[in-house]
Amino acid sequence: MQYRISRIGEALSGHSGIVELMDDLGAAMAGGAAGMHMLGGGNPAHVPAMQAVWRQRLREIAADAPYCDRLLANYDGPAGSPSFRAAMADCLRTEFGWPVGPENIAITCGGQTAFFFLFTLLAGEMAAGPRRRILLPLMPEYIGYADQGLAPGTFVSQRPRIELQGDRQFKYRIDFDALRVGDDVGAICVSRPTNPTGNVLTDEEIDRLAALAREREIPLLVDNAYGEPFPAAVFEPIQPVWRPGMVMTFSLSKLGLPGTRTAIVLGDPPLIQRIRAMTGVVGLANNNMGQAIVEPLLAEGKLIQLCRNEIRPFYQAKSQAALQVLAEEFGDDFPWRVHRSEGAFFLWLWLPELPISTQELYVRLKERGVLVVPGEYFFYGLGENDSDDWAHRRQCVRLTFSQSTETVEAGIAAIAEELRRVHRGK
């Protein structure tokens, strides 16, 4: 049979960076890629202290037969568990003083779904008025957004200012002098910490973006998957900001629960009601296991303490160790820099004199048993001419340091050897 595929079907089912990334991740994690050094993907580490907490919570759930039966055999409402949403709102009021309640919160099946809903609501052909787009003010940005636009040109983005720091580091900053929020922009979107670079936008940058959004009467979307108050994989002091008119998302995945596919959307009640309705249409209800595991820890204030005392130090130590291995293995054999590691689970390499694309480097490393993510996928929405002419987008690679010490060390050593071969023309 020859299937006739719709335009939206083509957009959602064709080749994409995020599908390739998740295919590789799934094969490696399922044991189908024996001996593969998995430095691609965003899978969280198995943090021992957190794994013990999750196992204990599962034992507690299983021991409470009536609760366990309800959890497994009943649908939640499409907005999520009322008690979990209340606990989340209480946490945000207590921790940050934000004026929010359960009506400000909706649960989705992971952060990827949350942003698909948000982009679908806020960009594209409008029910009233001209077509709208999503502004990404700092490229590179999360690979998973790139293919979520249901029409071409959903995203418009901007090159960063590149600030060199010392001999080997650099940092991206928003170029506010060049930033334009056109009349066709329906929302501004950033991740903080930024996936893929580990960049943490400063409080001043967030305030300036929020002011621009208010000026235009559009929302500022902040993807908080790695941020405060959980999982708190932030190595720089920041003050999270939310106010009416903003939208913030949180994720249980980076706590160490990606299998539960649970994200939280915080926003104004009218938008939250639309997210609730979209969940009902697309999937009826959400996975309620993640909410059940986390709710008592959230309600009792234990979750934030675990994040600050266990998760943040764990990833900060992993980051520092990976940077040390990088310096030892790469040395001065070829030009390289690494983005300042300020949060999340990644190192972002810049190879300014790389004689091949990072897509080709990805293929060569995969043959050596090392998976990375080529940087090209993280640059989109720049406009055809701009992206084609910008060599920087073909010179960057994302590595994760969340895997075991042995995997990270062996993977970086193999990358260094392959880069030496590339620069020797082999």
What the chain holds in terms of domains, given with CATH numbers, is: 7-48+306-423 (3.90.1150.10), 74-304 (3.40.640.10)
Q: Within a 13 Å sphere around the CA of 189, how many CA atoms are in the beta-carbon half?
A: 28
Tens-of-pLDDT digits for all 426 residues of the chain?
878 777 777 777 766 656 665 666 565 555 545 578 899 877 899 999 999 999 999 999 999 999 999 999 999 999 999 999 999 999 999 999 999 999 999 999 999 999 999 999 999 988 888 899 999 999 999 999 988 888 788 999 999 999 999 999 999 999 999 999 999 999 999 999 999 999 999 999 999 999 999 999 999 999 999 999 999 999 999 999 999 999 999 999 999 999 999 999 999 999 999 999 999 999 999 999 999 999 999 999 999 999 999 999 999 999 999 999 999 999 999 999 999 999 999 999 999 999 999 999 999 999 999 999 999 989 999 875 455 678 999 999 999 999 999 999 999 999 999 999 999 886
| Cα distance between residue 385 and residue 114, in whole Å | 31
| Three-state secondary structure readout of 297-352 | HHHCCHHHHHHHHHHHHHHHHHHHHHHHHHHHHHCCCCCCEEECCCECCEEEEECC
Are 107 and 262 spatial neighbours (Cβ–Cβ below 8 Å)?
yes
Cis peptide before 130 (omega within 30 of 0): no
Are 236 and 222 spatial neighbours (Cβ–Cβ below 8 Å)?
no
User: What does each C-alpha distance from 158 to 38, 134, 176, 286 come to in angstroms?
Assistant: 30, 12, 10, 35
| Global confidence as pTM | 0.93
| Cα distance between residue 235 and residue 171, in whole Å | 14
Q: Can you give the pLDDT at residue 19?
A: 65
Q: Can you give the pLDDT at residue 24?
A: 62
Q: Can you give the pLDDT at residue 41?
A: 78
- What does the DSSP assignment read for 177-213? TT----TTEEEEEEESS-TTT-----HHHHHHHHHHH
Q: Can you give the pLDDT at residue 40?
A: 85
Are 341 and 387 spatial neighbours (Cβ–Cβ below 8 Å)?
no
- DSSP H helical ranges for 200-288: 203-216, 269-283
Q: Can you give the pLDDT at residue 332?
A: 94
